[in-house]
Chains A and B, each alone.
Chain A
């Protein structure tokens, strides 16, 4: 199967798409932070570059769902920064998603470590 083009860290984009929400929540769980810092933290963690066009709509959905509160803080001479912080609902969601993700990763890892199951042959019954 042809997968979508990998990210610059080498991960297929579908994988990153699945993991992005929990990873972004995890960055914000470390304290109020802003878009570019979140993207940098994800890149430093080895997840590759997350484009603004992917990151900000996700942050917008968190905001609409009440998972984060936002505040603009003035920057020195710059345009300022929009800071995101987890709300109590966001903290709950963060914990839930982390637990869930770890369980999923465990299942996937132990499955791909196990010996490959013998498949019934699909040869033509001719």
Chain B
């Protein structure tokens, strides 16, 4: 996804890495916008590239905001919410599948392994959040690998280990699954509004103000409902089969 900060004289990859580094250092949106506008004004007038006038974006961000902010505790809360949503989705789907095939919900070794891996993966992502974000901005394929590899691994594990560990009746499983989804959505909706838009200074004619495209605005709104929606979409083929 391209981030548009209305700074046409600054190289895209430079402004994106700069913005991310300032964000990770806990700098607020207005200061980020002001810094971007100043870089844009300088590059527009001098004809220099941002890299040649200001050096590496990470180093320049570190000059402007020397002390990195401590890791945000909200990240842990976000991770816990995510695990709830994931568990709710898997359990609900398992219950729907069992109901449509007239069996009990069977929790297989693969299902338990995937749940454990999902928790482990989430913890890893939270721990390495800064590192991962920086890597994704630098190399787009990191996002593909980080998204695709776990998904492929989960499917492989589910298909390989199919011995039943526990069976549970359909209705209670469905109730628990839907309840987990509801708790996930409620927590996400009630979570603090972390929006701190990147806004350029007044008088700079919108320079340094980050434009959000319709896709990212839409994703923001769908966010809390993502797992319920995904569950519903994936349950349809299970009911039809």
A residues with CB within 8 A of B: 34-36, 39, 51-53, 56-57, 60, 71-75, 78-82
**Are A36 and B63 in contact, CB atoms less than 8 angstroms apart?**
no
- Among A35, A52, A73, A75, the most chain B Cβ lie within 10 Å of the Cβ of A52
**Would you call B201 an interface residue if the criterion is a C-beta within 8 Å of the partner chain's C-beta atoms?**
yes
Q: Return 5 A-B CB contacts under 8 Å, by A number.
A: A34-B41, A35-B41, A35-B42, A52-B53, A79-B204
- What residues of A have a CB within 8 angstroms of the CB of B35 in the complex? 56
B38-78 residues with Cβ-Cβ distance < 8 A to A are: 38-42, 44-46, 48, 53-55, 59-60, 63-64
> Which one of A52, A78, A82 contacts B48 once the chains associate, using CB atoms below 8 Å?
A52
**Are A35 and B38 in contact, CB atoms less than 8 angstroms apart?**
yes
**Would you call B102 an interface residue if the criterion is a C-beta within 8 Å of the partner chain's C-beta atoms?**
no
- What residues of A have a CB within 8 angstroms of the CB of B38 in the complex? 35, 56, 82
- A52-B39, A53-B54, A56-B42 given; name 13 further pairs at CB < 8 Å: A34-B41, A35-B41, A51-B53, A51-B54, A52-B46, A53-B53, A56-B54, A56-B64, A74-B205, A79-B7, A79-B40, A80-B37, A80-B205
The 4 closest A-B pairs by CB, nearest first: A72-B203, A79-B207, A52-B53, A53-B54
**Would you call B202 an interface residue if the criterion is a C-beta within 8 Å of the partner chain's C-beta atoms?**
yes
**Are A71 and B63 in contact, CB atoms less than 8 angstroms apart?**
no
| Chain B residue at smallest Cβ distance from A55 | B42
**Are B60 and A53 in contact, CB atoms less than 8 angstroms apart?**
yes
> Which one of B7, B42, B44, B64 contacts A57 once the chains associate, using CB atoms below 8 Å?
B64
**Are B64 and A36 in contact, CB atoms less than 8 angstroms apart?**
no
**What separation, in Å, do the CA atoms of A35 and B40 have in the docked complex?**
11
**What separation, in Å, do the CA atoms of A35 and B203 have in the docked complex?**
16
B66 to chain A, nearest CB (A): 9
- What residues of B have a CB within 8 angstroms of the CB of A78 in the complex? 41, 44-45, 205
A34-B41, A36-B46, A53-B63 known; A79 vs B205 contact (CB < 8 Å): yes
A116 to chain B, nearest CB (A): 40
B69-124 residues with Cβ-Cβ distance < 8 A to A are: none
**What separation, in Å, do the CA atoms of A75 and B44 have in the docked complex?**
11
